[in-house]
Amino acid sequence: MNSSLTHRYVDVNGVRLHIAEQGEGPLVLLLHGWPESWYSWRHQFGALAAAGYRVVAPDQRGYARSVQPSDVASYTLLHLVGDMIALIEELGEDQAILVGHDWGAPVAWTAAMLRPDKVRAVAGLSVPPILPGGMLPPSITRTQYGEGFYQVYFQQPGVVDAELAKDIPDSFRRILVGASGDNPDSTEPRPLVIPDGMGLLDTMPESPALPAWLTEEDIQVYAEDYALHGERAFTGAFNWYRNIERNNELLAPFRGRRIDVPALYMVGERDMVTSLSGPGGLASLTALVPRLQEPVVLPGCGHWTQQERPAEVNAALLDFLARIDGLPPR
């Protein structure tokens, strides 16, 4: 079995993506969120590869070592799902299991909804399935939370991009600690609303110490990869947010469509996303995803599930994968 982690570039769907891969067997694609990269799955590669899976984690378009298209409209969910379907085929596979965290979850959920012939199972971490557009559009969230709601704030071209690019390591340090379960202010999750006259990082003061799951070396890996894009280090990532409204328009024909493949949902107890749940919360998910396993809620965990709680996430994923492949639960 190929047990070493390797890196390479692939051309898919009109973009060049960097991928990290390890192992042999059924294909599992790990899709990172904002503002992350393949590295957010560093604790999952070995465990899944050892269990007999081919594990591939791309830097998705606009992120880290991958190409950053200049056109904002090149970051719709249809583009992002298209990248993953093309990647499955480029890897020489007919199907894959998709596991997505944060923004990677809407990509995974949407791919499972649109292409069940290619996605044989799906797992979402943090962000639940919000069909068909992946997230509620700013035209709705602006009314609910105001102009300072982070997804609305991110719509301003160049503003938050420049804020985060000014000191990339500091930005990662503040964001990763600020949205974690180790932030004392995260014990009661609430929507992130940026006060008038402040920036995103002003809501996340610098921590005097890093939590046990995060090191300065981790921050440096993220920072070095993002720095490859210079002053546009975060622009590709923010362009995903700038297509939320467009996603809902483009995917309107699929309203009412469900996800009919086996599915798993995991979320941290202290994840801000839990404060944004729609009517019915977790109990309502089975209407959209009939084959959903019992959701996994990680006590004390914040937004960065697979980084904050790697052992628990790995155990849940391995149990889920075993059930899909007809093996005894782990």
Active site residues: 102, 303
- Residue from 293, 279, 294, 300 nearest 324 by CA: 293
Dihedral sign computed on CA atoms, order 68, 74, 80, 85: negative
Measure the CA–CA gap between 298 and 311, rounded to whole angstroms.
11
Q: How many residues does the chain have?
A: 330
Count of CB atoms situated within 10 Å of the CB of 51 = 19
**Whole-Å CA distances, 191 to 67, 150, 258, 270:** 31, 8, 27, 12
Task: Check whether the bond before 329 is cis (ω within 30° of 0).
Answer: no
Strand 15-22 versus strand 54-58 pairing type = antiparallel
Backbone angles phi, psi at 177, to 5 degrees: -75, -45
Answer for the pair 158, 134: CB distance below 8 angstroms, yes or no: no
- Three-class SS state of 14: coil
